[in-house]
Amino acid sequence: MKRFFAVWAVAVLMLFCCGCAAGGPQSFKVQNVDTVMGTVLQQTLYISDRETPADQEIALLLRKLEEERLSRRLETSEVSRLNQAAGEDSGSAVSDFLEEVLKGCLEIWQKSGGAFDITLGAVVSLWDIDGWASGENQGVFAPPRDEQLRKALESCGCGRMKIEGGRLYLPEGMELDLGAVGKGIALDQLLVYLREKNEITGAVISLGGSILTYGQKPDGESWSVGIADPEDTASIIGTLTLEGEWFVSTSGDYERYAEADGIRYHHIIDPATGYPADSGVRGVTILAKEGFLSDALSTACFILGEEKGMELAAGCGVEVLFVGKDGRITMSEGMKAYFTAAADHSRGE
Ligand code: AMP
Ligand code: MG
């Protein structure tokens, strides 16, 4: 993990002309890899004007979103300010932007029967999940004790937060953690940016486990988005073939984890227990027309497992694909139109 981040922390920028689309304007392919919002940002942009610093603008936009709104770590953000005000009778003023996000999260919390819960900050901190991301504590990790988790869980629960008259009221000790939706929210913002930039004719942008496709390749070919094999993340179980604007989010037990005494703990917590969810799946991929939904629902469906997750996805109008612990692949009917299994991955449907 440490090595992985060391490699990716260095921004790599490659710029080269990829020729002309048949009869269309000249198009330049820009590829950029960077670290943003505590995860890897990979951009492939097709731009008609070579001088446009779109990749830089995109990275800047995401950093701003993290610093000003979403980060739980940086004191400058609105989420940090709201967390600091937990327990205050007068609550705290919440921006229109974050109010909409929080209301969306409450809706998914309700629809998922409480499985998706953005108030698990205290539990996430106990597990030190953000520390795993940076690889800082590999080798010295010790899981929290049962009684610590029980105590932390007492300060969690979306049902105990209230939004009223432009103010947010969090009970004492409650901490918001938007880690399960931040990437999707960010990609929603990027879609707005891309639509305004006429010079950008096509893009695939991935941020951690969430991906946005936009526009077209110069040759008119479809976008092809690979889904990682949880058993061997260097290979894929298959691809999604997509035209135009889509959001694809994957939640997997291989994305962030720590090990202690031979036991592997991953980063998606079941609010019913405070422990990593164990619903029989190793990976869930959501295909949606909205980044927020794709990210929130991949996390929610991971916790709920195949049967309940399938129902939740159908109820929210998105497509879903599960990779079970046994490697079996199952998916919603609609997903079948987009998914092609890799040649050596024909298990399941
Ligand atoms: P994702 O990778 O999108 O599935 O999100 C996982 C992240 O969301 C974790 O690193 C935590 O910060 C946070 N999280 C963990 N469990 C939950 C949960 N049950 N509901 C909402 N957020 C969670
Ligand atoms: Mg998510």
* CB of 109 closer than 6 angstroms to any ligand 1 atom: no
Between the CA of 342 and the centroid of ligand 2 the distance, in Å, is: 24
Confidence of residue 7 (pLDDT cuts 50, 70, 90): very low
Dist. CA 320–CA 312, nearest whole Å: 10
The CA 30 to ligand 1 mean position distance, Å, reads 31
**Joined tokens for residue 347:** 């298990």
Q: What pLDDT is stored for residue 108 in this prediction? A: 98
**Measuring CA to CA, which residue among 168, 158, 153 is closest to residue 109?**
158
Length of the chain, please?
A: 349
Indicate which ligand has the atom closest to the C-alpha of 131.
1
| Cα distances (Å, whole numbers) of residue 174 to 87, 110, 112, 225 | 8, 18, 20, 37
Burial class (CB in 10 A: 0-12, 13-18, 19+), 105: buried
The atom number, within ligand 1, closest to the CA of 184 reads: 3
Answer yes or no: is pLDDT of 80 > 80.
yes
pLDDT at 24: 57
Ligand nearest to the Cα of 208, by number: 1
298 CA closest ligand 1 atom index: 4
Q: Is the pLDDT of residue 13 over 70?
A: no
Residue 347 pLDDT: 54
- Is residue 133 pLDDT above 80, yes or no? no
DSSP readout, 56-78? HHHHHHHHHHIIIII-SS-TTSH
For position 140, what pLDDT does the model report? 82
Question: Smallest Cα–Cα separation from 138: which of 278, 274, 3?
Answer: 3
CB of 184 within 6 A of ligand 1: the answer is no
**30: closest CA among 193, 199, 274?**
199
Cβ–ligand 1 distance for 180 under 6 Å, the answer yes
Place of tokens 């432009």: 166
* Chain CA centroid to CA 62, Å: 13
The confidence score (pLDDT) of residue 19 equals: 44
pLDDT in tens, 314-337: 999 999 999 999 999 999 999 999
Interior angle at CA 233, CA 255 and CA 223, nearest 5: 95
Amino acid 219: pLDDT: 94
Give the tens place of pLDDT for each residue, 23-73.
456 899 999 999 999 999 999 999 999 888 999 999 999 999 999 999 999
CA 304–ligand 2 middle distance (angstroms): 13
Asked whether residue 10 carries a pLDDT value surpassing 80, the answer given is: no
Residue with tokens 């469906």: 301
Give the residue-averaged pLDDT of 193-203: 97
Checking if the pLDDT of 220 tops 60, the result is: yes
Q: Choose among 29, 28, 32, 106: nearest CA to 62.
A: 32
At position 349, the amino acid (one-letter code) is E
Q: Are 316 and 300 in contact (CB under 8 A)?
A: no
Residue pair 36/63 in contact (Cβ under 8 Å)? The answer is: yes
Span 101-105, average pLDDT:
98
Q: Give CA torsion, residues 216, 221, 223, 227, to 10 deg.
A: -170
State both tokens at 228. Answer: 């990682």
Which atom of ligand 1 lies at the shortest distance from residue 210's CA? Answer: 3
Query: Rounded to the nearest 5°, which phi and psi values hold at 80?
Result: -60, -40
* 270/64 Cα distance (integer angstroms): 30
Q: How far is the CA of 16 from the centre of ligand 1 (A)?
A: 37
How many A from CA of 18 to the centre of ligand 2? 34
- How far is the C-alpha of 299 from the C-alpha of 178, rounded, in Å? 11
